């Protein structure tokens, strides 16, 4: 197997996303991304499936969240 396929097969099916920054001072589009991920206030966490649409949203706000495999 190639290295990429090994990484995909070893990856978790779910990820935990935790908001590590408050919502104040962020643009409206970033706030909407937080809400779509289910993050309402500082320290809130949600578990999401490890799928491309969710990963795209996380990449948009990666500097404000902590991501862990579950």
Q: What is the CATH number of the domain that holds 45?
A: 3.30.1390.20
Q: What is the pLDDT of residue 46?
A: 96
Mean pLDDT for the stretch of residues 28-57: 94
Distance CA 69, CA 6 (A): 16
Whether residue 1 is contained in a domain is answered as no
pTM of the model: 0.76
Domain, as residue range, for 32 = 11-69
Confidence of residue 11 (pLDDT cuts 50, 70, 90): low
Whether residue 61 is contained in a domain is answered as yes
Query: Does residue 5 have a pLDDT over 50?
Result: no
* Average pLDDT along the chain: 86
How is residue 46 written in tokens?
Answer: 């949600």
Whether residue 2 is contained in a domain is answered as no
Higher pLDDT residue, 9 or 65? 65
Report the candidate in 31, 32, 63, 65 with the shortest Cα–Cα distance to residue 48: 65
Whether residue 22 is contained in a domain is answered as yes
Whether residue 32 is contained in a domain is answered as yes
Distance CA 54, CA 52 (A): 5
Query: Does residue 12 have a pLDDT over 90?
Result: no
Total domains in the fold of the chain:
1
Whether residue 47 is contained in a domain is answered as yes
In the 8-state DSSP scheme, what is residue 43?
T
Whether residue 37 is contained in a domain is answered as yes
DSSP per residue over 19-36, as a string? E-S-STT--HHHHHHHHH
């Amino acid at each position: 197997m190639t290295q990429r396929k090994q990484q995909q097969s070893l990856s978790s099916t779910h990820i935990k996303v935790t908001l590590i920054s408050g919502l104040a001072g962020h643009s409206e589009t970033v706030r909407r991304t937080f809400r779509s991920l289910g993050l309402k206030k500082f320290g809130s966490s949600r578990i999401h499936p490890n799928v491309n649409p969710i990963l795209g949203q996380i990449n948009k706000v990666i500097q404000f969240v902590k991501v862990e495999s579950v």
